[in-house]
Every structure is written in C-alpha cells, then in structure tokens.
Copies of this chain bind each other. A is one copy, B any other.
Amino acid sequence: MKRTRLIVFTALAVLVLALSALAQTDPLASWNDGSAKQAIVDFVRATTDQSSPKFVPPEERIATFDQDGTLWVEHPMYTQVMYCLERVRPLVEKKPKLKKVEPFKTVFSGNREAMAKFSMKDLEKILAATLTGMSVDEFNAAVKKWFETAKDPRWKRPYTELTYLPMQEVLSYLRTNGYKTYIVTGGGQDFVRVYSERVYGIPPEQVVGTAGATKYSYAKDGKPFLTKEPKLLLNDDNAGKPEGIHLMIGRRPYAAFGNSTGDRQMLEYTKAGDGGRLAMLVLHDDAKREYAYGPAQGLPDTKVGTFTQALYDEAKKDGWVVISMKNDWKHIFAFEQ
C-alpha cells in the first residue's frame, strides 16, 4: 500500500510539473511584449473562452494570412517571379524560336537591368509561358524540384527557410486554439500549394490564391489528366481577396493578416463581421535584419509589397494592429536563433 501511494504521488507530481511547464511555455516566444503581441493573445482568449461574449464556435474559427511579405520575405522580388524567370531558360531550350522573341530574349540574355524595366504585359507573358501549358503533375514536380536547389541571393538559403518565425508561432498558436489557418495570396494557388504543408503546416486545400482554369483530357493510354490553361479564374489580390475567400471558404474570417495595399479589402471584410475580429498588418521597418519599405511612415517606396500611408491611416482609424518588425519581433527567422 505504501509503495502504491508513493508511485501515485510521484506520478501526480510529475504531471503537475509537466502541466505547469506547458502553461509557462510562451506560444509567442519570438514576440516582444507590446500591443501587437497583446492583441493576438487577447483575441484568442476572447474568441475561445466559452464564457466570453465574443466566443466563436470552433467550426467558425477561420484565420487568413497573406503570404508574400506577411509569412515570408518578398524582397527584392516575389519568390514565384524568381521561379518564372529561372524557368525561361529550360523553356527557351525546348522552344528555340522564343530566343528571338521578347520578353524571353531579355530574360535569356540575363540582363537584370532590362528585366527590372519589364511592363506588366511582359511579366504576364512570362508567367503564362512558365505556369501554364503543362499538366498539373508536371508543374508540381517542376516547382518541387526548383525549391530543392534555389536560394535567396542575400541569405544564401532555400526560400522556404525565409519564413518569419513570429508568424509561424501565430499560425501554431491559432491552430492550437481551434482555428483553421488559410493562406490567401496574390501568388499562384498551385505554386504555393506545392510547399504550404511542409513550410507552414497548411494543407493545399487551405491555400487560396490566384488561380487559372485547368482542362480535363485523356492521355494516349486512356488515363485522364489536367492541363493548366492560360485562363484566369481568380485574381486573388485587392478586392479579389474577399471574393476569393467567399469562393473557396464561404465564411468570413475572424482574423486576417497582411502587409500591403493588396490586403486592404481582406482586412476590411474581416473587421466588418460581428463579434471579436482581428486585423493585423506587418510593417517592414527593419532594414538591418530584413528590409525597410513602405512608403508608409516615410519608408522607401518599392515596387513590391506597397504599404501606403493611406493604408496605415485606415489601420489606425479602424483598429487594425500594425506590427513593427523592428520593435515587435525578437527574432525574424528560425535560423537566427
């Protein structure tokens, strides 16, 4: 009897210690204390505590995240645009006629200065040629292969390591509290789906992005397959984000995260719902550890991920929370630690 008691007491003591250790682990350890971190914690408490007037039933807990500039680095160029430019060479080798046709000629020449001057139409031609006209399986395999060797020029690391650790913590924290996390990106839906599960723990069916049509047909052996067509179904940016959320999810998010004017409508739509809603914007104000661009708050204006002063003012007026990378984030990347 004495021995049994001892075992029970020991087991209980271990359990209590383990539970209190669990309780003390900060799920947002890479965040500095401040209003941004507090807003996230307050939102989760208010929407998951059954006694709270803002309680949200588990099945309605939806949180949406922009990708480029919100979950990972978008500078100096979107990763997907890097992919498309690097796919031009194998494409031209397969179809040598393209070597004489712009904008492929310029890309093939490797003249970065000329590439920087590409018009929207030039880019569209490159995107159409490198993202469509092949089967879904071929496309997935090509993207997967590219990510195995491609590296960001500044950090010399695979692009998939350039995700923001504090945002990875937000994703996990929300999921632990019953939220379904979605990516809602202006980037290609099929492109992001290739790595979303591995990189963010977000399955392909929870990626909403710019999407084209596919075409069902049969191979010679009778097996059906889908071909990616150069026909746009959803331009998932600006107003296209709430429209895409309705198409793909059919529920209004309770929390939404972005970093540029392309996310404005998604955040407006999220905040316009009843009860407790969280809207947050990442401000890239850390030139040393990442990049500083805006042009909100006098930051330099760049082509990629524009955060205007008007967006900043709307955020302040409507109770969206601006995250300062410089002040709110203890660490930016997991590899820094």
Contacts from A to B (Cβ < 8 Å): 1, 59, 62, 136, 180, 189-190, 193, 197, 203-205, 207, 211, 213-216, 223-226, 233-234, 239, 242-243, 246-251, 265, 268-269, 272
Complex Cα distance, B193 from A247, in Å, reads 11
Beta-carbon contact of B248 and A248 below 8 Å: yes
Complex Cα distance, B196 from A124, in Å, reads 39
Contacts of A223 in B (CB 8 A): 272
Beta-carbon contact of A205 and B248 below 8 Å: yes
Query: Given A136-B246, A224-B272, A216 and B239 touching (CB < 8 A)?
Result: yes
**Smallest CB-CB A-B distances: 7 pairs:** A204-B250, A216-B239, A205-B249, A193-B250, A214-B243, A224-B268, A223-B272
Complex Cα distance, B211 from A248, in Å, reads 10
Contacts of A213 in B (CB 8 A): 243
Q: Per DSSP, are chain A's interface residues mostly helix, strand or loop, or mixed?
A: mixed
Complex Cα distance, B265 from A320, in Å, reads 45
Beta-carbon contact of B242 and A224 below 8 Å: yes
Complex Cα distance, B249 from A325, in Å, reads 33
Query: Given A224-B265, A242-B224, A247 and B272 touching (CB < 8 A)?
Result: no
Contacts of A197 in B (CB 8 A): 59
Query: Given A59-B203, A197-B59, A233-B233, A214 and B247 touching (CB < 8 A)?
Result: yes
Closest Cβ–Cβ distance, residue A140 to chain B (whole Å): 10
Closest Cβ–Cβ distance, residue A289 to chain B (whole Å): 34
Beta-carbon contact of B214 and A226 below 8 Å: no
Beta-carbon contact of A243 and B268 below 8 Å: no
Complex Cα distance, B249 from A207, in Å, reads 9
Complex Cα distance, B214 from A62, in Å, reads 20
Q: Can you list 26 A-B contacts with CB-CB less than 8 angstroms, sorted by A residue number?
A: A1-B1, A59-B203, A136-B246, A189-B250, A190-B250, A193-B250, A204-B249, A204-B250, A204-B251, A205-B248, A205-B251, A213-B243, A214-B243, A215-B239, A216-B239, A216-B242, A216-B269, A223-B272, A224-B242, A224-B268, A224-B272, A225-B272, A226-B242, A233-B234, A233-B247, A248-B248
Closest Cβ–Cβ distance, residue A232 to chain B (whole Å): 10
Beta-carbon contact of A250 and B59 below 8 Å: no
Complex Cα distance, B31 from A235, in Å, reads 46
Query: Given A59-B203, A224-B265, A224-B268, A214 and B248 touching (CB < 8 A)?
Result: no
Contacts of A234 in B (CB 8 A): 233
Contacts of A251 in B (CB 8 A): 204-205
The listed residue with most B CB atoms (<10 A of its CB), out of A189, A205, A265, is A205
Closest Cβ–Cβ distance, residue A318 to chain B (whole Å): 10
Closest Cβ–Cβ distance, residue A315 to chain B (whole Å): 15
Contacts of A246 in B (CB 8 A): 136, 214, 226
Complex Cα distance, B247 from A226, in Å, reads 11
**Besides A205-B250, A226-B246, 16 other CB < 8 A contacts?**
A62-B205, A180-B205, A189-B247, A189-B250, A204-B250, A204-B251, A215-B239, A216-B239, A216-B242, A216-B269, A224-B265, A224-B269, A225-B272, A233-B233, A233-B234, A248-B248
The listed residue with most B CB atoms (<10 A of its CB), out of A62, A247, A268, is A247
